[in-house]
Amino acid sequence: MAGIGAAMRWARLLPVVLVLVAAIPAHAVQPDEMLKDPALEARARTLSRELRCMVCQNQSIDDSEAPLARDLRLLVRERLKAGDSDQQVLDFLTARYGNFVLLKPRFGWDTALLWLAPGGVLLLGALGLANLLRRRRRQADDSDAAQHLTAAERARLAELLGEGGKSTGQ
């Protein structure tokens, strides 16, 4: 019986393990693309994770198998072999393809809306919620005040509000 219990535990654990294995990113870098210098290859991989595949648009060129992503990976490695710094490689690619090539675009006038919009939406939501809560509190206060009025005060209030004969049925 102990063997069956262990098998059942493994059977329950297997789907979790499969999901975790499937979540590991598959890198599309082919062996023929890799540089012989491990330091340069590490820099190239780091840069490749920062650059967007123009075909897939939601993957880095390090993860994409699109032909354009391969060309960009080769271009990054070529620029690194030529002696460019990481920043020079990024500057070269943004000059060629625009800020869209960066998975995390730099903050600038042309990307300000991209960076500030989430905070603005959050701020507007917080202001709207505060306004709603203030209105509800005010309505509750108004209804509490109306409940504490005497009959004469209610009649005078109805008269002032133009409801003179409506509330008494006249």
Please check whether residue 99 is in contact with residue 110, taking contact to mean a CB–CB distance below 8 angstroms: yes
Name which of 38, 34, 47, 40 is nearest 81 in CA terms: 40
Q: In angstroms, rounded to a whole number, what is the distance separating the alpha carbons of residues 105 and 158?
A: 62
Give the C-alpha separation, 65 to 147, whole Å.
71
What is the reported pTM? 0.53
User: What residue has token string 């008494």?
Assistant: 168
Alpha-carbon torsion (53, 58, 62, 65), positive or negative: negative
- The residue type found at 10 is W
- Cα distance between residue 55 and residue 59, in whole Å: 9
What pLDDT, in 10s, does the model give residues 97-117?
Answer: 888 888 887 777 777 787 788
The answer to which of 30-34, 90-94, 139-143 has the lowest mean pLDDT is 30-34
CATH of 28-106, one of 3.30.465.10, 1.10.8.640, 3.40.50.150, 3.40.50.800: 1.10.8.640
The residues that bridge with 70 in the sheet, in sequence order, are none
